[in-house]
Amino acid sequence: MKRGVAEFIGTFGLVFAGTGAIVVNEVSGGAITHVGVALTFGLIVLVMIYTFGDISGAHLNPAVTVGFWAARRLPAGQVPLYVSSQVLGAVAASVALRVLFPQSKLLGATMPAGSEVQSLVLELILTFLLMLTILNVSTGAKEKGITAGIAVGALIGLEAMFGGPISGASMNPARSFGPALVAGHWEHLWLYLVAPTVGAVGAMFACRCVREAGCC
């Protein structure tokens, strides 16, 4: 249960700060800027990893949890607890943002700027790189050392910086599901559920190729 609570609070923090930055940027006329939004996502993940990394691993992301399970680093029995806690945390954060900013229509929901195929491929690649990094800076299903949070947070900020204007750079089914549910925008949600999951599993195979089974 401690792991579930950690994942709930951590994902709440991620979605509240990350999508909150998007909402505040909208209502303030661009005061935060796109760069500020990208940095917010990276920094909140960094902070949550140092806060909960030793308890649950601070996955904060169903795709990451599935990736750890595929890599045989997380027992299958723990996957439902992790995923449900992450989804509930994301929904709770979106509800809080709805109360605070009722004028926001999207609540930071992820939407493709171009075609769905373009965003699908981009999200797959972004999550692939994210999961590959996580697998290489973690021990078991948990981060190792003081550099793990920096590496993962920096990569998320970097990917959000250049991928955000095109696909939203979600890389996280829970992060996309929360705002979609509360704001009522389901149009493109499927690609933000499928692409990150496929990308995370693909990273597991790449990790095996590079590490020769020493990593996964």
What per-residue confidence (pLDDT) applies to 144?
A: 54
Domain range for 199: 2-211
Residue 178 covered by a domain: yes
Give 119-173 pLDDT, tens digit per residue.
Answer: 999 999 999 999 999 988 876 656 555 678 899 999 999 999 999 999 999 999 9
Residue 216 covered by a domain: no
Top pLDDT among 160 and 211 is at 160
Q: Report residue 64 as tokens.
A: 């990451």
Residue 119 covered by a domain: yes
The pLDDT of residue 215 is above 60: no
- Tell me if the pTM is above 0.85: yes
Residue 149 covered by a domain: yes
The pLDDT of residue 28 is above 80: yes
- CB 156, CB 196: distance < 8 Å: no
What per-residue confidence (pLDDT) applies to 146?
A: 61
Residue 132 covered by a domain: yes
Residue 115 covered by a domain: yes
Average pLDDT value for the chain: 92
Residue 124 covered by a domain: yes
Question: Could you give the angle at the alpha carbon of 7 between the alpha carbons of 14 and 75, nearest 5°?
Answer: 135
Total domains, the chain: 1
What per-residue confidence (pLDDT) applies to 96?
A: 97
- List, in sequence order, the alpha helices (H) in 101-147: 116-136
Local confidence band at 207 (pLDDT 50, 70, 90 cut-offs): confident
- CB 12, CB 86: distance < 8 Å: no
How does 44-61 read in b/e, with b if 16+ C-beta sit within 10 Å?
A: bbbbbbbebbeebbbbbb
Residue 101 covered by a domain: yes
184: CATH: 1.20.1080.10
What per-residue confidence (pLDDT) applies to 202?
A: 94
